[in-house]
């Protein structure tokens, strides 16, 4: 057992006294005079001030980890921090006494959309786990004025609205004026020489002030409070176009201000693929340079200018290639500002930096034109160029495939800076996010590097915060679990194993079913309130919630639903298990195909839900604006977890883990972390279908896949579904789906929807048929939870700490 929580309130009475005082302190009024929003704000401010006090009293010790990420999808924090401080029950009871249920206050909290999807949420889970494990962990990211757009649905279409998340203020953040730093863009590099010594300076260009906003990260047990530092861009006084200002050209002066502020105005809404805007490059450099300046300033205060030891005391982790400039920028600061020798600076960078890759999709690998890069960051670029030059010069030319290896691994190629190669060359460690994904990196995506430096490569299978996604999200099940095996699982997720014997305990299974039903009712109510769609809670809840992307194949799910629809109508003896299909997720604004799939789902929902011939057997709901907060309502209600990307495309997936932990059974391909879920739960407790990675590769290599063959082989069934995309069947809401049909039949079905269709539909039918045996189903569901402890991000972070960051060496 771990030591007891560091409680911030000793009792309900203590909480009530402090809360009433805080109303005066933070809102200048008594509790009774405040509205719910203000009451929330005061409570959050009180907890935030406690968190800051804990940190001030006991700063975490040991090696500093800096997790650099352009995205931290932190979600609502209050409920999680109450749990971590061990005062959730006290506060709940106190709020009831006040006549304002805690849930009502929690529903007032903003859900900061400072990330797109899996990558950003992973960073937030890692922050939670570092604090829980007492690791001295720091987040370094961007404070976007507007987070990911809000999604509303109009006539079935996704419409994007601005996310003004700071409207009511953000009680968790503290602006730190005294920690602001200057970041320089553009200008020219000038060479200076004196007494045979020479050095360079970057002259002119724009000076931007990066101002940090700090968010405390409360670890489970409340003993460790770490810091998430988010940067905001402002014009530096030195450079706020004073000439224009003094000359009275206020418009010009203000334009400069807004150009600078633009750097931290918006989050780019792409989850993978699509790059190219120069503003994005500015964002990347701003948070990298500001973060590194802060790190070196802190280090120098503590250790003096012993730069050669930086890697012993500091680990810099780069989440994907977005912070890839860390290597050359660290060298620039060390060489230009600290007088470190070039070779030593490179060694220090490599010892300190590590890199996680999150995708093997070639179109998602980040590249920037050399000209753009050099014009914006002339001095930093010189370090890239020099490292690239030395890399080519010292390349092992004796290998017979050296030209091919060099072509694969050089940083500069075809007029572009290849950010993945930049990341690998400046890192001592490169990891993938699931066993399958790391294997593909080694064998394909980064195989040149794997041949040259296999020792750099390692796997770190993703994980999730089990405290948030089970403890906070699923209170009815969490309570059942704690009543059965104690609450040790909150600190050690492996204790969930203790549930295994209860998978054969009839009364436990009944309690599980009750908890699941309560969660299904909660979700059904939310869906009815937000969309008007009524779901029958006796139906199976079959859930696919994630970003919209062709490779994730929401379209395959739609094909299955249309197939059920057609068969129910044409064959009265066909009796599928009544099922409610729940979808949720956003598509990038510019991703036309993904947005059309969203419109298709809403059109199918319209047709199915209003057709009395089928709507007692199938229903379809699209939950708008998927975000951490709505995710926490959806996962606990799910019974089937759809993880149906084509094998070899999804690096890991993390909703698969969240759903498994909440007792949903996976219907999935052998892709990403599904492979590991399968190993852990066993084939009896998961449903796998479809081509394997190798089969997909072979099929693609053969050039023999022909979508029209699949269409013609079964005109009445599969062919009919394709036809329905354009024959008016689904056109009532806002028209037909020509472009989706063309993706399948003209672009030859790149994502193998028609190829995996039968395998998928049969797997679904077999899985849902087994739902009738409630005991067997619930047994399987409970075993999924019991075996999900491995997917706690606590385990993942322990592995990073041991193998990559070398904490405690
Ligand atoms: C992103 O969310 C992911 C990969 C990317 O290259 C970018 Br950009 C954003 C996702 C992967 O698609 C998931 O498979 C993975 O689970 C997640 O990152 C976290 O590793």
Pairing of strands 353-356, 197-203: unpaired
**Separation CA 52–CA 209 (nearest Å):** 25
Give the mean model confidence (pLDDT) for residues 739-766. 98
Ligand 1 atom closest to Cα of residue 650: 14
Whole-number Å distance between alpha carbons of 658 and 642: 12
- Is 364 touching ligand 1 by the criterion CB < 6 Å? yes
Measured distance between the N- and C-terminal CA atoms of the chain, rounded to whole angstroms: 25
CATH of 62-75+112-462+797-804, one of 3.40.50.720, 3.50.50.60, 3.40.50.2000, 3.90.1150.10: 3.40.50.2000
More confident residue, 524 or 271: 524
Q: pLDDT per residue over 126-171, tens digit each?
A: 999 999 999 999 999 999 999 999 999 999 999 999 999 999 999 9
The mean per-residue pLDDT over the stretch 795-800 comes to 98
Mean pLDDT of 65-89: 98
Query: Please, are residues 326 and 288 in contact by the beta-carbon 8 Å criterion?
Result: yes
Answer whether 545 contacts ligand 1 (Cβ < 6 A). no
The predicted model gives 301-321 an average pLDDT of 98
11 has a pLDDT exceeding 80? yes
Ligand 1 atom nearest the C-alpha of 322 is 8
For residue 338, report the distance from its CA to the centre of ligand 1, in Å: 36
Per-residue pLDDT, 229:
99
Dihedral pair phi/psi, residue 314, rounded to 5°? -135, 135
Of all residues in the chain, what percent carry a pLDDT higher than 70?
A: 99
Q: SS3 string of 241-292?
A: CHHHHHCCCHHHHHHHHHHHHHHHCECCCCCCCCCCCHHHHHHHHHHHHHHH
The answer on pLDDT for 239 being more than 80 is no
- Per the confidence metrics, is the pTM higher than 0.95? yes
Our mutation pick for probing the ligand 1 site, out of 126, 271, 591, counting the most ligand atoms within 8 A of Cβ, is 271
Q: Tell me, what's the pLDDT at 275? A: 62
Dihedral sign, Cα of residue 396, residue 398, residue 401, residue 407: positive
Residue 585 Cβ inside 6 Å of ligand 1? The answer reads no
702 falls in which pLDDT band (50, 70, 90)? very high
Query: Furthest-apart CA pair in the chain: how many Å?
Result: 94
> Tokens 């604090």 identify what position?
131
DSSP state of 664: P
Nearest CA residue ID for atom 18, ligand 1: 119
- Taking CA atoms, 683 is separated from 23, 227, 544, 641, in Å, by 55, 42, 21, 15
Q: What is the pLDDT of residues 736-748, one digit of tens each?
A: 999 999 999 999 9
- Residues 178-199 have pLDDT tens digits of 999 999 999 999 999 999 999 9
Superfamily of domain 481-791: Glycogen Phosphorylase B; (3.40.50.2000)
Q: What pLDDT was estimated at residue 2?
A: 42
Q: Is the predicted pLDDT of residue 3 greater than 60, yes or no?
A: no
**CA-based torsion, 427, 428, 433, 439: positive or negative:** positive
The runs of H, that is alpha helices, within 506-654 are: 506-531, 554-570, 592-609, 628-634
* pLDDT for residue 248 is more than 90: no
pLDDT of residue 790: 98
> DSSP letters along 635-647, please?
GGG-SEEEE-PPT
320 pocket-lining for ligand 1 (C-beta < 6 Å): yes
Calculate how far, in angstroms, residue 395's C-alpha sits from the geometric centre of ligand 1.
Answer: 32
Residues in the chain: 809
pLDDT at position 364:
83
Candidates 115, 272, 357: which one to mutate for ligand 1, based on the most atoms within 8 Å of Cβ?
272
The domain ranges of the chain are 62-75+112-462+797-804, 481-791
Q: Which atom of ligand 1 is nearest to the CA of 120?
A: 2
Please, what is the average pLDDT of the chain?
96
What is the CA(359)–ligand 1 centre distance, in A? 6
**From ligand 1's centre to the CA of 640, what distance in Å?**
22
Task: Decide: 472 in ligand 1 pocket, CB within 6 A.
Answer: no
Helix (H) or strand (E) holding 41: helix 36-57
Buried b / exposed e along 764-787 (16+ C-beta atoms within 10 A): beebbeebeeeeebbbbbbbbbbb
Ligand 1 site-directed mutation target among 117, 124, 445, 649, most atoms within 8 Å of CB: 117
- Assess contact for 72 and 230: CB atoms under 8 A: yes
Among 172-176, 250-254, 745-749, which is the least confidently predicted range?
Answer: 250-254
Q: With 90 as the cut, is the pLDDT of residue 249 above it?
A: no
Q: Does residue 720 surpass a pLDDT of 90?
A: yes
Cα 721 to Cα 715, 726, 756, distances in angstroms: 9, 10, 14
Mutate to test the pocket of ligand 1, among 651, 656, 659, 673 (most ligand atoms within 8 A of CB): 651
Structure confidence by residue, pLDDT tens digits, 22-56: 999 999 999 999 999 999 999 999 999 999 999 99
Question: Mean pLDDT over residues 568-584, rounded?
Answer: 97
State if residue 60 touches ligand 1 by the CB under 6 angstroms criterion: no
Predicted confidence at residue 713, as pLDDT, reads 98
Question: Which ligand 1 atom minimizes the distance to the CA of 654?
Answer: 16
Dist. CA 803 → ligand 1 center (Å): 22
Provide the sign of the torsion angle of the four alpha carbons 16, 19, 23, 25, taken in this order.
Answer: positive
Which atom of ligand 1 has the smallest separation from the CA of 673?
16
Model confidence at 305, pLDDT cuts 50, 70, 90, reads very high
Ligand 1 touching residue 272 (CB < 6 A): yes
pLDDT, tens digit, 9 for 90 and up, residues 611-629: 999 999 999 999 999 999 9
269 lines ligand 1 (CB under 6 A): no
Pocket test for ligand 1, best of 359, 365, 586 (most atoms within 8 A of CB): 359
| Fold matches, 62-75+112-462+797-804 and 481-791 | yes
Total Cβ atoms within 10 A of residue 612: 6
Which whole number is the average pLDDT over 755-760? 98
The pLDDT assigned to 4 comes to: 58
Alpha helix positions (H), 368-505: 370-376, 378-393, 402-409, 419-425, 435-440, 447-452, 466, 475-485
Give the pLDDT mean for 284-313.
98
Task: Report the pLDDT value the prediction gives residue 808, as an integer from 0 to 100.
Answer: 81
Query: 272 alpha carbon to ligand 1 midpoint, in Å?
Result: 7
Residue with CA at minimum distance from ligand 1 atom 13? 653
CA nearest 332: which of 426, 413, 230, 205? Answer: 426
User: What is the model's pLDDT at position 745?
Assistant: 98
Q: How far is the CA of 652 from the centre of ligand 1 (A)?
A: 7
Say what the pLDDT of residue 1 is.
36
Nearest atom (ligand 1) to Cα of 271: 9
**Contact 654 CB / ligand 1 (< 6 Å):** yes
Q: Is 555 in the pocket of ligand 1 (CB under 6 A)?
A: no
**Which residue do the tokens 């209170």 mark?**
475
- Annotated catalytic sites, by residue? 358, 546-547, 552, 654, 658
Closest by CA position to 363, among listed 547, 550, 545: 550
Q: Closest ligand 1 atom to the C-alpha of 121?
A: 19
Dist. CA 758–CA 764, nearest whole Å: 10
- How many CB atoms neighbour CB 640 within 10 A? 23
Element (H, E) at 201: strand 197-203
């Amino acid at each position: 057992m771990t030591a007891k929580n560091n409680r911030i309130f000793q009792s309900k009475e203590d909480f009530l006294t402090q809360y009433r005082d805080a109303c005066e302190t933070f809102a200048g009024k008594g509790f009774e005079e405040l509205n719910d929003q203000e009451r929330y704000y005061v409570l959050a401010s009180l907890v935030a001030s406690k968190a800051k006090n804990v940190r001030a009293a006991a700063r975490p010790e040991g090696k500093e980890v800096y997790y650099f990420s352009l995205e931290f999808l932190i979600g609502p924090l209050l409920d999680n921090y109450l749990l971590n401080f061990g005062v959730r029950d006290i506060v709940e009871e106190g709020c009831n006494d006040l006549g304002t249920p805690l849930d009502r206050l929690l529903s007032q909290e903003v859900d900061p959309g400072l990330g797109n999807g899996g990558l950003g949420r992973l960073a937030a889970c890692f922050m939670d786990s570092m604090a829980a494990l007492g690791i001295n962990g720091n987040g370094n990211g961007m404070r976007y004025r507007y987070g990911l757009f809000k999604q509303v649905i109009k006539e079935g279409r996704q419409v994007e609205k601005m996310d003004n998340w700071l409207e009511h203020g953000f009680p968790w953040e503290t602006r730190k004026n005294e920690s602001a730093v200057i970041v320089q863009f553009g200008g020219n590099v000038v060479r200076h020489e004196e007494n045979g010594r020479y050095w360079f300076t970057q002259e002119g260009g724009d000076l931007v002030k990066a101002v940090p906003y700090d968010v405390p990260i409360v670890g489970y047990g409340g003993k460790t409070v770490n810091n998430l530092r988010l940067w905001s861009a402002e014009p530096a006084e030195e450079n706020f176009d004073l000439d224009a200002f003094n000359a009275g050209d206020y418009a010009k002066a203000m334009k400069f201000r807004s150009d600078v502020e633009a750097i931290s105005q918006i989050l780019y809404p792409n989850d993978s693929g699509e790059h190219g805007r120069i503003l994005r490059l500015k964002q990347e450099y701003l948070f990298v340079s500001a973060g590194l300046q802060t790190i070196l300033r802190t280090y120098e205060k503590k250790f003096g200018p012993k730069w050669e030891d930086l890697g012993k005391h500091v680990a810099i982790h780069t989440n994907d290639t977005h912070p890839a400039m860390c290597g050359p920028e660290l060298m620039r600061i060390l060489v230009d500002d600290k007088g470190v020798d070039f070779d030593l600076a490179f060694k220090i960078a490599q010892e300190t930096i590590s890199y996680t890759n999150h995708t093997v999709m070639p179109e998602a690998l980040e590249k920037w034109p050399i000209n753009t890069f050099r014009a914006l960051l002339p001095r930093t670029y010189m370090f890239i160029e020099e490292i690239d030059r030395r890399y080519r010069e010292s390349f092992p030319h004796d290998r017979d495939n050296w030209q091919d290896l060099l072509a694969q691994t050089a940083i500069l190629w075809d007029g572009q800076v290849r950010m993945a190669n930049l990341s690998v060359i400046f890192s001592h460690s490169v990891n993938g996010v699931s066993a399958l994904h790391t294997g593909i990196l080694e064998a394909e995506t980064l195989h040149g590097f794997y041949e040259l430096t296999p020792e750099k490569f390692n796997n770190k299978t993703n994980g999730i915060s089990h405290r948030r996604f089970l403890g906070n999200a699923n209170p009815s099940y969490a309570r059942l679990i704690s009543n059965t095996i104690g609450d040790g699982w909150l600190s050690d997720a492996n204790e969930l194993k203790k549930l295994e014997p209860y998978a054969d305990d009839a009364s436990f299974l009944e309690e599980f079913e009750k908890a699941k039903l309560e969660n299904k009712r909660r979700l059904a109510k939310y869906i009815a309130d937000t969309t008007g769609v009524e779901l029958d809670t006796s139906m199976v809840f079959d859930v696919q919630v994630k970003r919209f992307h062709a490779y994730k194949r929401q379209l395959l799910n739609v094909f299955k639903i249309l197939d059920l629809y057609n068969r129910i109508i044409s064959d009265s003896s066909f009796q599928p298990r009544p099922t409610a299909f729940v979808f949720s997720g956003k598509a990038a604004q510019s991703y036309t195909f993904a947005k059309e799939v969203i419109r298709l789902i809403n059109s199918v929902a319209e047709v199915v839900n209003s057709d009395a011939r089928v709507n007692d057997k199938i229903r379809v709901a699209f939950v708008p604006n998927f975000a951490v907060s709505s995710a926490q309502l959806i996962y606990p209600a799910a019974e089937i977890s759809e993880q149906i990307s084509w094998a070899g495309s999804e690096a890991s997936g993390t909703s698969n883990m969240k759903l498994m932990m909440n007792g949903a059974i996976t219907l999935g391909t052998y892709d990403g972390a599904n492979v590991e879920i399968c190993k852990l739960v066993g084939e009896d407790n998961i449903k796998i279908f479809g081509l394997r990675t190798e089969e997909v590769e072979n099929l693609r290599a053969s050039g023999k896949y022909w979508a029209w063959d699949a269409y013609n082989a079964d005109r009445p069934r599969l062919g009919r579904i394709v036809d329905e995309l354009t024959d008016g069947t689904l056109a009532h809401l806002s028209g037909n789906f020509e472009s989706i049909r063309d993706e399948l039949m003209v672009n030859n079905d790149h994502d193998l929807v028609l190829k995996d269709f039968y395998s998928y539909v049969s797997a679904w039918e077999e899985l849902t048929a087994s739902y009738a045996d409630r005991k067997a189903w619930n047994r399987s569901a409970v075993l999924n939870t019991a075996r999900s402890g491995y997917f706690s991000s606590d385990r993942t972070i322990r592995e990073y700490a041991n193998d990559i960051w070398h904490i405690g060496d």
